[in-house]
């Protein structure tokens, strides 16, 4: 796997929005040089209905701006799919339905893990451990006894976004997969915006969606 964030544009993007999101790894099918989806089913797997709707609708707009038809799972899938488990035969029926209605791509996003982390206070984090002595070490850390602000607990969410081809002449091939970490999300709306922009940027760099023209970027920035 390779890290897309080594590119200059991705670094600039991340610095613009802070460090709350990071594309930590990604994989692209080596047999696919370029790919431009015609009709996409967008699925955000979460039990939070409002967040799912917001995520899918915003990502839908991104694909439509780039000339792809996009449908959200909130609209396309039967509501029972959200509440009941389905089996392999039902998945086959779903794929057949997708093919029959002209879909060629699925974009699936889900949370794959959550880590509970501890963040220590800034002056401790910045201390140069190569020069410290016992006295310095103890004085620097003594807040742990009585200061509740010495450290804070936060969550690190590990997410995964996958693009699948459901072309009738091929297997349901994985085209691209990206792993994105979200640090201690506070504002759901902001995180969704940042996440979508990061995914779109990664897909553009891999030539898996049509990039916007400069004038289109300006129009959408206004």
Q: Domain holding 110: CATH number?
A: 3.40.50
Q: Are 24 and 180 in contact (CB under 8 A)?
A: yes
Full domain range(s) for residue 81: 4-119+152-212
138 inside domain: no
134 inside domain: no
Model confidence band, residue 215 (pLDDT cutoffs 50, 70, 90): low
CA–CA gap between residue 41 and residue 13 (Å, rounded):
26
Q: What is the pLDDT of residues 123-180, one digit of tens each?
A: 555 555 565 677 777 777 777 777 777 777 888 999 999 999 987 766 668 999 999 9
76 inside domain: yes
Model confidence band, residue 220 (pLDDT cutoffs 50, 70, 90): low
Average pLDDT of 30-42? 94
Percent of the chain whose pLDDT exceeds 70? 78
Average pLDDT of 179-206? 92
90 inside domain: yes
139 inside domain: no
């Amino acid at each position: 796997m390779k890290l897309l964030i080594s590119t200059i544009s991705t670094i600039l993007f991340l610095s613009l929005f802070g460090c709350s999101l990071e594309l930590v790894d990604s994989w692209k099918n080596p047999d696919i040089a370029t790919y431009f989806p015609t009709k996409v089913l967008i699925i955000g797997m979460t039990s939070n209905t409002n967040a799912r709707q917001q995520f899918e609708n915003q990502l839908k707009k991104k694909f439509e701006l780039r000339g792809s038809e996009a449908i959200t799972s909130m609209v396309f899938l039967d509501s029972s799919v959200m509440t009941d488990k389905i089996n392999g035969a039902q998945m086959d029926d779903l794929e057949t339905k997708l093919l029959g209605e002209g879909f060629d791509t699925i974009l699936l996003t889900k949370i794959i893990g959550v880590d509970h982390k501890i963040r220590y206070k800034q002056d401790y984090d910045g201390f140069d451990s190569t020069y410290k002595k016992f006295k310095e070490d103890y004085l620097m850390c003594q807040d742990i006894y009585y200061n509740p602000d010495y450290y804070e607990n936060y969550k690190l969410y590990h997410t995964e976004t996958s693009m699948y081809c459901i072309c009738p002449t091929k297997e349901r091939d994985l085209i691209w997969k990206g792993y994105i970490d979200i640090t201690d999300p506070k504002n759901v709306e902001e995180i969704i915006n940042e996440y979508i922009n990061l995914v779109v940027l990664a897909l553009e760099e891999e030539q898996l969606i049509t990039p916007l023209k400069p004038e289109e970027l300006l129009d959408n920035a206004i």
